[in-house]
Amino acid sequence: MIADNILDRAKQIERLNQPVVEWDILVIGGGATGLGIALDATARGYKTLLVEQSDFAKGTSSRSTKLVHGGVRYLAQGDIRLVREASIERGLLYRNAPHLIKDQTFIVPVYSLWARLKYTIGLKLYDRIAGKLRLGPSVFISKKETIEKLPGIKTNGLKGGVIYHDGQFDDSRLALNLAQSIWENGGVALNYVQVTSLLKNSMGMLCGATVLDVESKKTYTVKAKAIVNATGVFVDDILQMDKPGSAKTVCVSQGVHLVLDKSFYPSVDALMIPETSDGRVLFAVPWHDKVVVGTTDTPVEIASLEPKALEKEIDFILETAAAYFIKKPKRSDVLSVFAGLRPLAAPQKADQKTKEISRSHKIVVSASHLFTILGGKWTTYRKMGEDMVNRIEKELNWKHQLPATAYLHIHGYYKNENWQDPFYFYGSDATLLQQQINGTAGQWLSEELKIHPAQIVWAVEHEMARTLEDVLSRRTRALLLNARESLRIAPEVAVIMAKTLGKDDQWINDQLKKFNWLAEQYILK
Ligand SMILES: Cc1cc2nc3c(=O)[nH]c(=O)nc-3n(C[C@H](O)[C@H](O)[C@H](O)COP(=O)(O)OP(=O)(O)OC[C@H]3O[C@@H](n4cnc5c(N)ncnc54)[C@H](O)[C@@H]3O)c2cc1C
């Protein structure tokens, strides 16, 4: 059972039960955007509550390409302002969460002298835009060096490559660390709490929301001075609650990734293919001892928390990767497939393609003061938070409080990471976790994924994991790294969780049923 000194969701829920509390800011949505806003607000001293209907980062924020990047593609599109903003944020995040953000080298193979010139100059510009916050200099490398670094690459017409630096991270672990930072700075961030309606005062202005604790099915009335809609691809649902009939603001685009064994791409450098047959870029990024390959850009009509990769997206990634990898991957080699939905600001022109829509963020304020945020990137979550809280202060005539997140260390902050350590992503928490592991070392639940029973207990007691999926998808990344292996260890994980949470056999059976269904969606037949 859970001891007193550890993070207890029930105690946090109690804070909803105090009718006299009026929150300064209520944030709806516990993805990168909402967490960034709630941390900014908390750090400025505002009484802040964040509610997430599912788990933190259940939506798009656990399904990214895992890059903290300035965006070479946006540079090619001429969006210098976005590249500058993202490059600064990349540098700040690298300093504030050094346990999660790696300096990753990328290689762009070039097949013509024009491409060589374009990418050498372009990437030098990329370095310059980042200024002091750049991670490392870009350099041109010869054909021989390119082949040494990318042994599987097609050599016909190869002129060489350009190496550049960007950041690489673990998205759902960062989301969790942001939630922990919110708690540590005095705010409340709750998973499995859903906003079901918005409340207005006699003047027709928003003054709170009705929220449902999805676990207990209990409803609470929450009073708040400002309400933020940071629900990603679901922003229009909240806008409808504010004003039925509101125009559509978001346009949804799906991106798919395949995870493969690193033997297909055994390089320490990531690969960036700058122009695929559909005119996008494709990445192959080393991640937790595997390689993540993606992504696509497919318009989608209906938003879902569990989007499904299309066959044509899977085929496209496999075919494109085959031209660059040492072994040509087949469907049966895919360890996991995952899809995410980009919440893009709806285009002004009806015929604009989703890949052409700017990734910069946009804030919209309704007549009743619902603050909605659209678009953006994981990389710029901090700046999005700062912009939103500045806007709330301005619109509601609050005294300006200085933003405080640019140099705020994020929970787990730890320098000089040993990236070979299987527990590196726990940062400063790794020492405590390691103490719990001592004596039982070697008894992995999964030798391949380096998952230990102590991590399951840790996820429940310190990281607010409530379901089997929370542990296997977002506290550890088992589901995304090897879906079959996650299925194999699920029964043991469920038993450990049940013991720690004080749950019965019925709970174990329900969790296993749900997780088995989910994992099947990540496996290619
Ligand atoms: C394929 C792909 C690859 C990407 N790669 C990168 C990358 O490498 N680097 C990068 O910087 N960016 C990347 N991005 C962009 C980045 O991932 C997104 O911009 C970001 O995750 C969006 O976060 P969000 O918080 O706005 O949305 P989400 O993460 O979807 O969060 C919204 C949350 O709101 C919750 N919610 C909805 N309704 C309610 C309600 N009524 N009550 C309570 N909660 C509610 C949802 O459950 C959800 O968790 C990528 C995006 C995609 C799709």
Average pLDDT of the chain?
92
Average pLDDT in the 219-232 region? Answer: 97
Is the pLDDT assigned to residue 347 strictly greater than 80?
no
**Ligand 1 pocket, 64 CB below 6 A?**
yes
What percent of the chain clears pLDDT 90, i.e. is strictly above it?
A: 78
Separation of alpha carbons 167 and 165, rounded Å? 7
The pLDDT value recorded for residue 62 is 98
Q: What is the pLDDT of residue 393?
A: 98
CB atoms within 10 A of CB 194: 16
Structure tokens at 178: 């942001």
Over the stretch 451-485, which tens digit does the pLDDT of each residue have?
999 999 999 999 999 999 999 999 999 999 999 99
- Ligand 1 pocket, 192 CB below 6 A? no
Ligand 1 pocket, residue 60 CB under 6 Å? yes
CA of 59 to the centre of ligand 1 (A): 5
Q: What pLDDT, in 10s, does the model give residues 359-413? A: 789 999 999 999 999 999 999 999 999 999 999 999 999 999 999 999 999 999 9
Give the mean model confidence (pLDDT) for residues 74-101. Answer: 90
CA dist 171 → 66, 263, 465, 502, 514 (Å) = 6, 24, 16, 29, 23
CB 167 less than 6 A from any atom of ligand 1 = no
Ligand 1 nearest atom to the CA of residue 51, by list position: 43
| Phi, psi for residue 166 in degrees, rounded to 5 | -145, 180
Is 90 exceeded by the pLDDT of residue 58? Answer: yes
Predicted pLDDT of residue 16: 85
For the residues 124-153, what does the mean pLDDT come to? 91
Tell me the mean pLDDT in the region 304-315.
96
Q: Read off the pLDDT band of 354 (50, 70, 90).
A: low
How much distance in Å is there from the Cα of 60 to the middle of ligand 1?
3
Choose between 423 and 19: higher pLDDT: 423
Residue with tokens 């037949």: 525
CA of 32 to the centre of ligand 1 (A): 6
Question: What distance in angstroms lies between residue 430's CA and the mean position of ligand 1's atoms?
Answer: 27
Burial group, residue 434, by CB count within 10 angstroms (0-12, 13-18, 19+): middle
Answer whether 48's CB lies under 8 Å from 42's CB: yes
The pLDDT of residue 14 is above 90: no
Residue 5: per-residue pLDDT: 41
pLDDT of residue 19: 65
Mean pLDDT of 443-456: 95
- The span from the CA of 511 to the CA of 524, in Å, is 22
For residue 295, is the peptide bond before it cis, meaning its omega torsion is within 30 degrees of 0? yes
354 CB near ligand 1 (under 6 Å): no
Alpha helices for 353-502 (secondary structure H): 381-395, 430-437, 453-462, 468-469, 478-481, 483-501
pLDDT value of position 71: 84
Decide: 179 in ligand 1 pocket, CB within 6 A.
no
> pLDDT per residue over 238-285, tens digit each?
999 999 999 999 999 999 999 999 999 999 999 999 888 777 789 999
Helix H, strand E, coil C: the string for 47-115 is CEEEECCCCCCCCHHHCCCCEECCCHHHHHCCCHHHHHHHHHHHHHHHHHCCCCCEEEEEEEEECCHHH
Tell me what pLDDT residue 2 has: 40
With beta carbons less than 8 A apart as the criterion, state whether 59 and 32 touch. no
Hey, what amino acid is at 146? T
Measuring CA to CA, how many Å separate 429 from each of 312, 414, 433?
A: 42, 9, 6
Backbone angles phi, psi at 246, to 5 degrees: -60, 145
The token pair at 276 is 């695929």
Considering only 76-85, 123-132, 447-456, which range has the smallest mean pLDDT? 76-85
How would you class 330 by CB atoms within 10 Å of its CB: exposed for 0-12, middle for 13-18, buried for 19 or more?
Answer: exposed
Alpha carbon distance 479, 65 (integer Å)? 15
Q: Is the pLDDT of residue 356 over 60?
A: no
Q: What pLDDT score does 345 carry?
A: 82
* pLDDT over threshold 60, residue 3: no
Read off the DSSP letter of residue 473.
Answer: I
For the segment 209-221, the average pLDDT, to the nearest whole number, is 96
* Ligand 1 touching residue 460 (CB < 6 A): no
Question: Measured from the CB, is residue 376 less than 6 Å from ligand 1?
Answer: yes
Does the pLDDT value for residue 344 go beyond 90?
A: no
pLDDT-derived band at 193, boundaries 50, 70, 90: very high
C-alpha–C-alpha distance, residues 525 and 518, integer Å: 14
pLDDT bin (cut points 50, 70, 90) of residue 4 is very low
Counting from 1 in the atom list of ligand 1, the atom nearest the Cα of 59 is 30
| Radius of gyration, alpha carbons of the chain | 23
Q: What is the mean pLDDT of residues 182-193?
A: 96
Is the distance from the beta carbon of residue 52 to the nearest atom of ligand 1 less than 6 Å?
yes
Q: Is the pTM value of this prediction over 0.85? A: yes
For residues 224 and 231, give the distance between their C-alpha atoms in angstroms, rounded to a whole number.
Answer: 17
